[in-house]
Every structure is written in C-alpha cells, then in structure tokens.
Amino acid sequence: MIIKPMVRNNICLNSHPAGCALEVQRQIEYVKKNLKPEENTPKLALILGCSNGYGLASRIAAAFGYGAVTVGVSWEKAAEEKRTGTPGFYHNTIFDREASKAGLVSKTVDGDAFSDEIRSETVKAVREAAAEAKIPAKIDLVVYSLASPVRIDPKTGEQYRSVIKPTGQAFSGSGLNMMDGTIISVNVEPATEEETANTVKVMGGEDWELWMEAMDKEGLLSPETRSVAYSYIGPEHSWPVYKNGTIGKAKEDLERAARAISKKFPSWVSVNKALVTRSTAVIPVVQLYICCLFKVMKEMGLHEGCIEQITRLYKDRLYAAGEVPVDSEGRIRIDDWEMRDEVQKAAAEKMKAVTSENVFDITDIAGVKHDFLAAHGFDVEGVDYEKDISPVI
Ligand code: NAD
C-alpha cells in the first residue's frame, strides 16, 4: 500500500516502516561516531519505554555506542496486512534486526510495563539475554523512560489517568496548532486534588521503584547498578501548566523516588531538553515554545535531538570520569543549553512577537513539523513515499 500520514488533532494515526527504519539507522550511525565503550560503560542495560523518543535513543546509545546487551520494554501495536504498526513497533523491529546484524544481543518485551506479568517476562528476558551473550545476569544500567496517560496499579487493579493541567489556578495563554500554524488561545481549568494525585500515580516514581525492587529481588542488580529517569523543567512561563502543574508534581515524585532508590543503587533524575516526541505533540503551549526555541537554538548552533541529548548524558554525565555532575537538587541537567540565559531571552522575545501571519518566518514550525512526522517515519529524506510498500516487515 501507499502510506501517507493521517494526522487528526496533532495525533498521527499511522506510520511508515521505511522512514522509521532510516531514523533508527541514523541514530545508530551517530552513536557509533560519538561513543566508545570504556571499562565503566554498561554491558547489560534495561530500557523501560524503549521504542520511541528518549528511551529509544537511550537503547541505541547503550547498544551501538557501548556494545551493551539490551533488554527493552514497551507497549506497541504490530503491523497487519492492511494496517501499519505503531512507530515504536517498527523502531523495535529495526533495532533488533540491526543489533543482530552487529552481533549485539537484544530482547524486546512487549506489553504493559506497569504490570507484574511484564516484570516477570522481563526477568526471563534479562536472564536469556545474559546467557546468550555469555555475561553475568547483572544489569548495570536501568533507564526509566515511560510516558503514558494511564496506569493500572498492579496491587489493586485500579486504573489511574494522568492529566496535564495547572494546580491551584486556571491557566490562559497562547498555543499553536502545529499542523496549520494558527495561534490559538489555551484556557485550562485547574486540576482537582484527585486528578493531581492520579497524575502522580501514573507519571511519578512509584513504578520506577517497583521495577528496581523486582529486579533486585531476582538478584539482577548489583551495588554498581545505575539508574536514571527523565524529567523536564522548562521556562518560567510554562510553569503554571508544567513544572507547577500536575505533571510537575509527578516529576517531583520521580525525584523523591531517585533519592529512595539511591540508598541502594546510584540513581538520578535527568532533566532533558524539550523535544518533539509522540508525547509532547499533544501539548499546544509546549508546541509554541518548542517552535521558538528550535529556531533560536539552531541559529546559535546549539540544537540537539534525542540521540544527541542521550549521547551527552552518557558521555559527559553518567559515564564521565569522576563524580556525576549534578545541580543543587542532585539532578543531572542536559537541558543546560536550552536553559542558557541568551537562549531563553531570545525564545521569550519570539513568543511575544509571534502571530499566525509570521509564525513560518520567525519560528521553526517547519522543523518541528518535520520532527513530528519523522517520529512516525514520514518526511524522512531518502524514502520514496509514492512507492507501494507492505506495512508488515
Ligand atoms: P515517548 O512517547 O516518545 O515514548 C514513551 C515510551 O513509553 C514508548 O516506548 C512507549 O511504548 C512506552 N510506554 C508507554 N506506556 C507504556 C506501558 N504501559 N507499558 C510499556 N511501555 C509503555 O516519550 P518521550 O517523550 O521520550 O518521554 C520519555 C520520558 O522523557 C518521559 O518521562 C518524559 O516526561 C521525559 N521527557 C520528555 C521530554 C520531551 O520533550 N519529549 C523532555 C524532557 C523529559
């Protein structure tokens, strides 16, 4: 079939296998050039949320940059004869294929990472992967990169939903419809206490702790095992909906979990740069900021995507010589370039000046739209989108 993007309300409903394959290969090539294994770099890495965005980059960097055996967990839909799979399905398939070609052992577990069943399946996968690679079944890096709107508590069976809302006061501001460039006004009512608590339940640190406990109980961790989970802080004008909103509360809980896990295994929250992934595309306030930010960072030669961010996280932070550099709160900051004064000042000026008329000139809406489509395998250079292709690979 001929596969063209089907986008509704900033959500892309399909994906292109050839474009997804090229994106994975591009990231592999990048880490091969920019990372090399050292004595302290991971030999066996577990990546939770391995199929897209930051998790996919973390897995590619561990495997192709450091030669690590990787076990990845994600929840994706496989392709069918007449329907494309999710982008993550293609990313995983291509990753495993490329890993196998390169002689790297990889196992991918598909299913609900919040469930105890998937934790048990993962334990099995880790043991099998280690046996196949003839290395001890000791995970030395756990990356927690899940982004999900829902979670079923494995103990109670109760389902929780996360929301992106301010806490306390309502928020009014400008947002962007990325697909057509119209500036829209965004009004969001504050979350109820229950909504905030539910968001913490879904996107907070509880599940990360459960993963570490489960792996520890099975003897798969050692005192040297390092773990990292990802967060975002961003500019002050987004704080009412982000840092001080429901999701920010969940990220505070992630920091609590990092401190708790660190009592046994060195663990960090890494604050990453704002990027276009499947998760951010649905937040209009963030979209407008990202379009302004990308323009500024590209002009200043500071722009990075997921793979550049994770390469810097591994090389200059987690596996740099000496202590891991952290901020006053103990967090790793690879949003440092985004948060530079000159970058923030220039982005804020653009945010003030932008209108539906000048958005294509003064912001990088074109680049952001490209990243959004590329996250689904579309608009990727080198792919013939007129070519008949089977969605099943
Ligand atoms: P993403 O949407 O690209 O990927 C999410 C991953 O989670 C996918 O692999 C998906 O399969 C997996 N997942 C979701 N629910 C699951 C479930 N129930 N079971 C198994 N797997 C499941 O997300 P992303 O943007 O890369 O975000 C990852 C983390 O990075 C999040 O914590 C996010 O807050 C953080 N972060 C993102 C940005 C950004 O701009 N995108 C910036 C800073 C930090």
User: What digits encode the pLDDT tens for the residues 126-140?
Assistant: 999 999 999 999 999
Determine the residue of 279, 307, 309, 338 to mutate for testing ligand 1's pocket, defined as the one with the most ligand atoms within 8 A of the Cβ atom.
279
Mutate which of 91, 122, 142, 148 to test ligand 1's pocket (most atoms within 8 Å of Cβ)?
A: 148
pLDDT score of 287: 86
Stretch 87-112: mean pLDDT, rounded? Answer: 98
| Atom from ligand 1 closest to the CA of residue 335 | 43
CA 55 to ligand 1 center in whole angstroms? 7
Q: Is the pLDDT of residue 90 over 90?
A: yes
103: left (phi over 0), alpha (psi -120 to 50) or beta: left
pLDDT band at residue 9 under the 50/70/90 scheme: confident
CA distances (Å), origin 20, targets 24, 134, 139, 159, 308: 6, 31, 28, 32, 18
Distance (Å, whole) CA 202 – CA 206: 8
The pLDDT confidence band at residue 62, using thresholds 50, 70 and 90, is very high
Q: Nearest 5°: CA angle at 31, between 296 and 270?
A: 60
Task: Average the pLDDT over 288-303 and give the result.
Answer: 97
Rounded CA gap, 273 and 276, in Å? 10
CA of 142 to the centre of ligand 1 (A): 15
In this prediction, residue 35 carries a pLDDT of 98
User: What kind of fold does domain 7-374 have according to CATH?
Assistant: Rossmann fold (3.40.50)
Can you list the positions of beta strands (E) in the chain? 7-8, 11-12, 44-48, 69-74, 106-110, 141-144, 150-152, 159-161, 171-177, 182-188, 226-231, 267-271, 332-333
- Measured distance between the N- and C-terminal CA atoms of the chain, rounded to whole angstroms: 13
What letter represents residue 384's amino acid? D
pLDDT higher than 90, residue 375: yes
Ligand 1 in contact with 162 (CB < 6 A)? Answer: no
Q: Considering only 172-181, 278-287, 336-345, 369-378, which range has the smallest mean pLDDT?
A: 278-287
Determine the pLDDT at residue 286: 84
Residue 147 main-chain phi, psi, to 5 deg: -135, 115
Q: Would you state the pLDDT for residue 284?
A: 64
CA distance linking residue 161 with residue 159, whole number of Å: 7
**Tokens representing residue 213 in the block:** 């406990």
Q: Which of 138, 141, 70, 142 is nearest to 108 (CA)?
A: 70
Ligand 1 proximity of 112 Cβ (cutoff 6 Å)? yes
What are the angstrom distances between the C-alpha of 349 and each of 245, 296, 345, 354? 24, 10, 6, 9
Q: What is the distance in A from the centroid of ligand 1 to the CA of 388?
A: 31
Contact 207, 146 (CB under 8 A): yes
Residue 169 pLDDT more than 70? Answer: yes
Q: Does residue 197 carry a pLDDT above 80?
A: yes
pTM over 0.75: yes
Mean pLDDT over residues 21-30, rounded? 98
- Find the Cα–Cα–Cα–Cα dihedral 138, 42, 70, 131, rounded to 10°: -40
Q: Count other Cβ atoms within 10 Å, centred on residue 113.
A: 22
Condensed to tens digits (0 to 9), the pLDDT of residues 228-275 reads 999 999 999 889 989 999 999 999 999 999 999 999 999 999 999 999
What pLDDT is recorded for position 33? 98
The catalytic site residues sit at 242
Per-residue CA distances from 10 to 41, 287, 373 (Å)? 38, 10, 10
Q: Is the per-residue pLDDT at 282 higher than 70?
A: no
The number of beta carbons lying within 10 Å of the beta carbon of residue 56 is 29
Question: Residue 103 and residue 97: Cα distance in Å, rounded?
Answer: 10
Cα gap 164→301, rounded to integer Å:
31
CA of 387 to the centre of ligand 1 (A): 31
Q: Is the CB of 58 under 6 A from ligand 1?
A: no
- Is the Cβ–Cβ distance between 212 and 221 less than 8 Å? yes
Distance 146 CA to ligand 1 centre (A): 4
For residue 180, the 8-state DSSP code is T
| Closest CA to ligand 1's atom 3 | 53
What percentage of the chain carries pLDDT values higher than 90?
A: 91
User: What integer best gives the mean pLDDT of the chain?
Assistant: 96
Q: Cα angle vertex 261, ends 143, 305, to 5°? A: 25
Those residues whose C-beta lies under 8 Å from the C-beta of residue 389, and which sit 6 or more positions away, are 1, 2, 3, 16, 17, 18
- What residue spans define the domains of the chain? 7-374
Q: Is the distance from the beta carbon of residue 274 to the nearest atom of ligand 1 less than 6 Å?
A: yes
309 within ligand 1 shell (Cβ under 6 A): no
